[in-house]
Structure 1
Amino acid sequence: MMVATREVTYDVDGLSMIGYLAQPNGPGPWPAVLIGHDGVGLEEYQRQRADDLAAHGDLALAMEYHGGEVFFDRPDAMLSRIMPLLADVERLQSIGRAAFDVLLAQPGVDPDRIAALGYGAGGKIVLELARAGVPFKAIAVVHSAFPDDKVEEWSNVAGTFLLCTGSEDPVCTPEQILTFGRALQEAGIDWRVEIYGGAEHAFWAQPRKPDGSLAEGTAHSMTTVPGVSYDPKATIHAWRAVLDLFGETF
């Protein structure tokens, strides 16, 4: 299916955000997916995921929350930006809500068929939106940071949750995923887990040079946290799981 793409600029958190919109051809109505990037920034991988979703018949908006910056070679600057965000739930919800409003405002969006996909800190943003009452029909998160796992915080949340990580991820461990999943289960939420053997944190992210161009191999020349490496097999498996969830939902 042919898709149309464009940048979408909107203001939140004192910054001008530059999101990426991909939509199928035709009049709609379409299911819609909100995508949250990880702490490094909105890069080509998330844009490609938006393109792929649009090719499957979903309108997709990859949100942005660094004001156009991508921290490929500045780990300290990235952590200085991301850690205060992760600690401030209201700020995360505000950032996510602004992007969600942009998504809903697109012509052809079916407001009754909305899903979310988040990586790392972007996973926590979409989870916080769900906790705040955004009616996602499905949520997929990959090596996410997790919100509060108190059961009562999730008792009014619906939809199906997909939680993915690598078995060797030191930041989003399988134990953390199962702890969060048990809270969802006690709240009556449908949830599933995929754990990829041998995969580390941000396993989908191909190594890049300081200028942002792709590098060879699986090891990153500079990382923001320990335990990060590229795993192409886990990348494929996780994306298939996401497509399966959204296909099943819509």
Structure 2
Amino acid sequence: MIRKLLLVALAAVVTTLIAVGLAPAVKADIVAEPVVYTINEQPFEGYFAINEGFGDSQPVVLLVHDWDGLGDYEKRRAQMLAEQGYATFAVDLYGQGVRPTNADESRAQSGMLYADRDTLRSRLMAGLAQAQAQPSIDGSRVVAIGYCFGGAAVLEMARAGMDVDGFVSFHGSFDTPEGQDYSQTSGRILVLHGSDDGAAPMADVAQLASELDAAEVDFDMEIYGGVDHAFTVWSDADRYDAMADRRSWRALITFLDETLS
């Protein structure tokens, strides 16, 4: 009897996790593999995940990594999105084999792209083209999402007027370089952010909202009270916030459903 009750309780937990998107829904047809491509003769290694059970012409998510480069975290998020029926291409902005191992290396790699926006944009454009070249997808239905540095990168895509349906920033940064604005942005924007984010404080969030309003961009923001930077990164025990992670994931799935349907 005790064993039966435990099994029932476990089934209830799994059902709840599936409902909020933090556990696999249907995994039988997931195909995930590295994708090597070149930009100006330099090799880059992205990662593509798709649930073949959803058939052809699937909408696409372009996923941009944090400042650590494309790693296991982004690959798992790509698989989670594929489980929901969103074919996902995790782009590589640093280059094949360039994977920082400490904060100094991460700062150096991301800093080079922050300082060279033309290169950042060209690598994002190449990643988008590679995503749209994957099999069994509908390249006309795309949303770009990013974490931390990747959140800043997708806003760079928005300011560049890249032709995608939406942009989602998870605990990103919001500085707009001199000479840039959101006047060319055509897709929707969703910002998911913690109110206690020291890397991008609420004053920066308010400034971003003002810029988006001025450009008449369709946008939404969800602010999680008392939540720090990198709140979705489960390997960061000091900053990870399970509740904010679940809420932001649900917000993402709702955004994708509304934007790519």
Structure 2 residues without counterparts, runs of 5 or longer = 1-25
Secondary structure at 2:181 match in 1: helix
**Mapped partners of 2:42, 2:241: distance in 1:** 33
Matched, 1:11 2:38: yes
**Mapped partners of 2:241, 2:109: distance in 1:** 26
TM-score by length of 1: 0.84
Query: Does the CA contact (< 8 Å) of 1:13 and 1:95 recur in 2?
Result: no
Q: Which has the larger radius of gyration?
A: 2
Matched ranges for 1:157-172 at <5 A: 157-172=185-200
Aligned position for 1:213: none
Shift of 1:12: 3.3
Shift of 1:166: 1.0
Query: Does the CA contact (< 8 Å) of 1:184 and 1:191 recur in 2?
Result: yes
- Runs of 4+ aligned structure 1 residues displaced above 4 Å come to 149-152
**Mapped partners of 2:118, 2:178: distance in 1:** 17
Shift of 1:149: 7.4
**Mapped partners of 1:231, 1:70: distance in 2:** 25
Question: For each residue in 1:98-134, what CA deviation from the matched residue of structure 2 results, as whole angstroms up to 9, or x when unmatched?
Answer: 1111001112322321101011221222222222222
Matched ranges for 1:81-230 at <5 A: 81-148=109-176, 153-207=181-235, 218-219=237-238, 229-230=239-240
Matched, 1:70 2:115: no
Pick the structure with more helix per residue.
2
Shift of 1:96: 0.6
Match of 1:30 among 54, 58, 62: 58
Shift of 1:146: 2.6
Query: Does the CA contact (< 8 Å) of 2:49 and 2:79 recur in 1?
Result: yes
User: Structure 1 residues 3, 148: CA separation in 2 closer, same or farther (over 3 Å shift)?
Assistant: same
**Mapped partners of 1:27, 1:176: distance in 2:** 41
Question: For each residue in 1:217-247, what CA deviation from the matched residue of structure 2 results, as whole angstroms up to 9, or x when unmatched?
Answer: x22xxxxxxxxx2212211111111111001
Matched, 1:51 2:61: no
Secondary structure at 1:154 match in 2: coil
Structure 1 residues without counterparts, runs of 5 or longer = 209-217, 220-228
Query: Does the CA contact (< 8 Å) of 1:174 and 1:195 recur in 2?
Result: no
**Mapped partners of 1:96, 1:45: distance in 2:** 19
Matched, 1:242 2:230: no
Q: How many residues align?
A: 231
RMSD of aligned C-alpha atoms?
2.1
Question: For each residue in 1:62-110, what CA deviation from the matched residue of structure 2 results, as whole angstroms up to 9, or x when unmatched?
Answer: 11223334334x1112112211211221111011111111001112322
Shift of 1:193: 0.8
User: Structure 1 residues 166, 63: CA separation in 2 closer, same or farther (over 3 Å shift)?
Assistant: same
User: Structure 1 residues 191, 151: CA separation in 2 closer, same or farther (over 3 Å shift)?
Assistant: farther
**Mapped partners of 2:149, 2:124: distance in 1:** 11
**Mapped partners of 1:243, 1:78: distance in 2:** 29
Shift of 1:143: 1.5
